[in-house]
């Protein structure tokens, strides 16, 4: 059994796990462990994981840095983000640990906390207890249970009532290690009533070892809160990234998220949204560009629990070489959720004959006065458009590239930070031209 | 004067069906040729074969363009060598802006001539000049290529691209079909302004209407994959009066 080594490890090193974390986080381990023992990691025998055998990723000799042995790196030297004109409050996680040698130079608005999960649990025990482990449900998700068992630190943004953080925050996740590692990281985003915040999360693997990363993000959007969360993955082919976002939205809140994979190995994104206050709006986007034998699996579950909410999903995949893509979009409209508007779009481009895409929409509607739709297409590059461009003298490869970049356009348009939109357009263009290295501008792997 | 284009005994198939069955045509610099004929006679196939559309396969015959074997050239190389096809059905390309599209096309042409890429300023000026020359509404170029354009806008956009690329041999495939009279005037005026003694135009049409605005030097009737009659401008007028029947069933 693949799980056994992790069960043994947990039992054997429980005291060290606790000693290197804090009570608020430790408190959740036992229940998660109980669930994990029962359900284990998902395998392709489960319908929702049919094309992604997650358990296999853990069938390896992975280390866990439970004692928080310091990894020698100064992220400011290792990584310089070169997003032009994107001025952000910048933070770092090295593997699962908050890097606190130096915070951003500019002070955040009063009352806003951004930093280590451990620190937050001590400084804001009430807010921590109200949300940590409360939004991420692991009853049927062994990866989230595993993460909750082993999580020791992570990153928090807390924005109190009526506070707007104008400048976006940027969290840079850096994966480092001398041996193959299992990294378990937590993110917590709390936007109280009428709070506004935008976060960009960038994922970079620096060392050439295997990483199996579980990330659990809990996002709470209070009444009339506005939260933007953009995730940009530029990992190496040796990274397995198991990303789980859980979002709860109160009345009139608005959440925009987009997960963009430019480089990866094996990625599974689970997006779970629960709209539980009326007139809440969720815009959920995703874009993946995969080649070689890379794998992307986007799974989205949108739960309309109350009337008058809107959700809009847009997922796009570009597959080259022998890459495989999976999309599953579930929309649940509960019995009383009248006047729901829920739209789901999934478009996939197989740019090579060996690329494979598996896509499945699932709508479960128990209310009778709703508007729900889904559109799903998987196709090749448009031959007519290619010829039209060639007939104007544009090189065949260049024409393909322009069409592929064009295909990604509307996901980029969802991003509500202009300078980030520009940056993404440039990165996507470079990505298709093969000019993008593993990390945008990383001094370590140069 | 030497030929710019020489088509000899051209046979072409699409989806295993032979459409062109031995076309012969010679075009010299400075000339305007009209190729007319009823629907299904092979006019658009001829245009597509000249531009190099991979859907069509040439089975016999030859095409010499500026004394080179045109059939050996990729579509993009034909364009860079000065061939321009105005599409009967211009393709919509969502997400590719007209500006990026035109810049890519202009720069490919410059690269081919071993020139530096055009500067941003010169490019904007070129776009503005050609727009003014043709009297085209500027909002066409601010949009994605042909996306959501009306029929008339698409055809004007073809002529606009032609003006930007300044071709030596322009092939206008049914550019007049589906146009209202104003759009037809804009398109015809554009073609006339761009015509010089060094370049040539092949107009493919089954109406006489366009020929009221653009005067051809030669008129050809294509029927069942062959040119069955050639003449001067007076042939178009005769076709307008008598139709094609007298030629098809003499």
Cα–Cα distance list, A425 to A324, B20, B95 (Å)? 23, 45, 12
d(CA A211, CA A423): 27
Neighbours of B12 (CB within 10 A): 22
Compute the 3-state secondary structure of chain B and give helix, strand, coil in percent, each to the nearest 5.
Answer: 40, 30, 30
Cβ atoms of B73 and B52 within 8 Å: the answer is yes
Q: How far is A351 from chain B (nearest CA, A)?
A: 17
**pLDDT value, residue A438:** 45
Calpha distance A439→A441 (Å, rounded)? 6
Rounded mean pLDDT of B97-122?
A: 94
Q: Which two tokens stand for residue B149?
A: 């354009």
Instruction: Give contacts of A385 with chain B, Cβ < 8 Å.
Output: 91-93
Report ipTM for this prediction: 0.96
B11-31 pLDDT, tens digit per residue, is 999 999 999 999 999 999 999
In angstroms, the CA A340 to CA A396 distance is 45
CA A170 to chain centre: 14
Q: Up-side HSE of residue A185: CA atoms within 13 Å toward CB?
A: 32
Please answer yes or no on whether B79 and A403 come within 8 Å at the CB atom: no
Which residues, in sequence order, are CB contacts of B167 under 8 Å at separation 6+?
Answer: B79, B82, B83, B84, B199
Question: Structure pTM?
Answer: 0.89
CB B203 within 8 A of CB B35: yes
pLDDT along chain A (446 residues), means of 10: 95 95 97 97 95 94 87 65 66 90 79 96 97 96 98 97 96 90 97 98 89 98 98 93 98 98 96 98 98 96 98 97 97 97 97 95 96 95 96 95 94 94 91 69 39
Q: Cα-flanking dihedrals φ and ψ of residue B87, to 5°?
A: -70, 140
**Domain count of the fold of chain B:** 1
**A407: contact with B, CB 8 A cutoff:** yes
The answer to whether B99 and B141 have CB atoms below 8 angstroms apart is: yes
- Torsion angles phi and psi, residue A200, rounded to 5: -110, 125
DSSP-assigned states of every residue in A216-235: EEEEEE-TT-EEEEEEEEE-
Q: Is B51 on the interface with A (CB under 8 A)?
A: yes
Q: Where are the alpha helices (DSSP H) in A40-164?
A: 54-58, 75-78, 117-123, 125-131, 142-150
pLDDT for res A68: 83
What would you measure as the largest C-alpha separation in chain B, in angstroms? Answer: 59
The CA distances from residue B88 to A29, B44, B193, B219, in Å, are: 68, 8, 21, 19
Asked if residue A434 belongs to a domain, the reply is: no
Answer yes or no: is A433 within a domain: no
Among A424, A418, A414, residue whose Cα is nearest residue A256:
A414
Tell me B214's DSSP state: S
Which residues on chain B are in Cβ contact (under 8 Å) with A408?
Answer: 95
Residues of chain A found within 8 Å of residue B105, distances taken between Cβ atoms: 389, 392-394
How far off is chain B from A20, nearest CA to CA, in Å?
50
Q: What pLDDT, on the 0 to 100 scale, is given for residue B177?
A: 81
Q: How far is CA A116 from CA A97, A120, A192, B170, in A?
A: 8, 6, 19, 66
The contacts found for A384-387 with CB under 8 angstroms, 24 or more apart, are A384/B91, A385/B91, A385/B92, A385/B93, A387/B53, A387/B54, A387/B55, A387/B75, A387/B91
pLDDT of residue A312: 98
CA B245 to chain A, closest CA, distance in angstroms equals 34
- The reply to whether residue B53 touches residue A395, judged by beta carbons under 8 angstroms, is no
Partner residue opposite A409 with nearest CB, options B51, B95, B109 = B95
Using CA atoms, how far apart are residues B160 and B133, in angstroms rounded to an integer?
9
Residue A290 CB neighbours (<10 A): 25
Angle at CA B7, nearest 5°, toward B2 and B10?
Answer: 170
Q: Please give the pLDDT value at position A442.
A: 44
Average pLDDT, chain B: 93
Rounded-to-5 percentages of helix, strand, coil across chain A: 25, 40, 40
CB contact under 8 A, B95 and A385: no
Listing from the earlier edge strand, what are the strands of the sheet with A356-365?
A113-116, A154-159, A181-191, A211-221, A239-249, A266-275, A295-304, A324-333, A356-365
Whether residue A443 lies inside any domain: the answer is no
% of chain B surpassing 90 pLDDT: 78
Sheet containing strand A97-98, edge to edge, reads A97-98, A89-94, A169-175, A196-205, A226-234, A254-263, A281-290, A310-319, A341-350, A371-379
Q: Comparing C-alpha atoms, which of A208, A278, A259, A283 is closest to residue A439?
A: A208
Cβ atoms of residues A405 and A316 within 8 Å: no
Pick the range with the lowest mean pLDDT from A289-298, A313-322, B135-144, B231-240.
B135-144
Strand partners, A267: A241, A296
- Domain assignment of residue B191, given as a range: 5-248
Domain, as residue range, for A359:
4-383
**Residue A361, in any domain of the structure:** yes
Residues of B in contact with A382 (CB under 8 A): 91, 93
Q: Please provide the size of chain B in residues.
A: 250
Tell me, what CATH number does B149's domain have?
Answer: 3.40.50.300
Centre a 10 Å sphere on the Cβ of residue A197 and count the other Cβ atoms it contains.
27
Task: With H, G, I as helix, E, B as strand and everything else as coil, classify residue A47.
Answer: helix
Tokens of B20: 């062109």
Look up tokens 């005291």; give the residue.
A15
Instruction: Give the number of domains in chain A.
Output: 1
d(CA A385, nearest CA chain B) in Å:
6
Structure confidence at residue B27 (pLDDT) = 97
């Amino acid at each position: 059994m693949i799980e056994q080594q992790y069960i043994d490890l947990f039992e054997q090193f429980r005291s060290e796990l606790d000693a290197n974390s804090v009570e608020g986080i430790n408190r959740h381990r036992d229940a998660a462990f109980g669930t994990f023992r029962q359900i284990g990691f998902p395998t392709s025998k489960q319908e929702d994981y049919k094309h992604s055998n997650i358990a296999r990723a853990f069938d390896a000799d992975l280390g866990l840095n439970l004692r928080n042995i310091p990894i020698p790196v100064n992220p400011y030297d290792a990584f310089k983000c070169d997003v032009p004109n994107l001025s952000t409050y910048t933070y770092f996680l090295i593997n699962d640990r908050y890097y606190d040698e130096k915070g951003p130079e500019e002070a955040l608005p009063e009352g806003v906390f951004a930093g280590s999960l451990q620190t937050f649990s001590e400084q804001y025990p009430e807010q921590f207890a109200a949300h940590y482990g409360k939004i991420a449900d692991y009853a049927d998700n062994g990866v989230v249970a595993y993460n909750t068992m082993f999580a020791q630190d992570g990153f928090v943004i807390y924005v109190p009532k009526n506070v707007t953080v104008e400048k976006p925050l940027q969290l840079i996740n850096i994966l480092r290690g001398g041996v193959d590692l299992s990294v378990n990281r937590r993110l917590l985003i709390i936007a109280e009533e009428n709070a506004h915040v935008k976060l960009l999360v960038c994922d970079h693997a620096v060392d050439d070892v295997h990483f199996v990363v579980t990330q659990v993000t809990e996002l709470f959007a209070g009444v009339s809160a506005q939260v933007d969360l953009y995730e940009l993955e530029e990992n190496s082919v040796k990274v397995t990234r198991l990303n789980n976002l859980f979002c709860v939205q109160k009345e009139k809140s608005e959440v925009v998220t987009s997960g963009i994979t430019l480089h990866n190995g094996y990625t599974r994104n689970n997006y779970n949204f629960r709209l539980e206050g009326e007139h809440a709006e969720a815009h959920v986007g995703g874009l993946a560009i995969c080649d070689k034998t890379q794998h992307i699996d986007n799974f989205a579950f949108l739960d309309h629990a109350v009337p008058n909410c809107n959700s809009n999903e847009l997922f796009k995949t570009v597959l080259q070489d022998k890459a495989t893509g999976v999309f599953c979009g579930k929309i649940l409209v509960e019995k009383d959720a009248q006047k729901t508007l829920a739209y789901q779009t999934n478009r996939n481009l197989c740019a090579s004959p060996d690329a494979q895409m598996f896509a499945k929409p699932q709508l479960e509607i128990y209310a009778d006065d709703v508007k729900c739709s889904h559109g799903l297409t998987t196709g090749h590059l448009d031959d007519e458009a290619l010829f039209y461009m060639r007939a104007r003298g544009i090189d065949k490869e260049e024409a393909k590239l322009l069409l592929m970049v064009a295909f990604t356009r509307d996901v980029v348009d969802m991003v509500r930070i202009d300078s980030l939109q520009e940056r993404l357009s440039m990165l996507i263009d470079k990505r298709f031209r093969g000019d993008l290295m593993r990390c945008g501008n990383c001094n370590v792997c140069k | 004067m030497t030929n710019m284009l020489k088509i000899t005994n051209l046979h072409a198939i699409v989806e295993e069906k032979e459409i062109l069955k031995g076309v012969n045509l010679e075009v010299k610099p400075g000339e305007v040729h009209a190729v007319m004929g009823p629907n299904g006679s092979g006019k658009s196939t001829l245009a597509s074969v000249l531009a190099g559309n991979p859907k069509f396969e040439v089975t016999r015959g030859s095409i010499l363009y500026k004394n080179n074997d045109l059939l050996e050239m990729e579509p993009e190389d034909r364009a860079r060598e000065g061939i321009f096809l105005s599409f009967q059905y211009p393709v919509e390309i969502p997400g590719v802006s007209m500006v990026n599209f035109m810049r890519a096309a202009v720069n490919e042409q410059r690269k081919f001539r071993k020139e530096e890429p055009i500067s941003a300023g010169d490019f904007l000026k070129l776009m503005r000049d050609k727009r003014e020359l043709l009297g085209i509404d500027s909002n066409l170029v601010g949009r994605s290529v042909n996306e959501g354009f009306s029929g008339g806008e698409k055809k004007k956009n073809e002529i606009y691209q032609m003006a930007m690329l300044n071709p030596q041999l322009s092939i206008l495939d049914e550019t007049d079909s589906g146009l209202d009279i104003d759009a037809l005037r804009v398109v015809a005026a554009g073609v006339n302004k761009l015509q010089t003694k060094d370049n040539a135009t092949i107009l493919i049409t089954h109406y006489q209407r366009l020929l009221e605005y653009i005067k051809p030097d030669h008129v050809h009737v294509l029927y069942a994959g062959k040119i069955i009659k050639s003449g001067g401008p007076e042939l178009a007028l005769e076709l307008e009066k008598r139709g094609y029947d007298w030629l098809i069933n003499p």
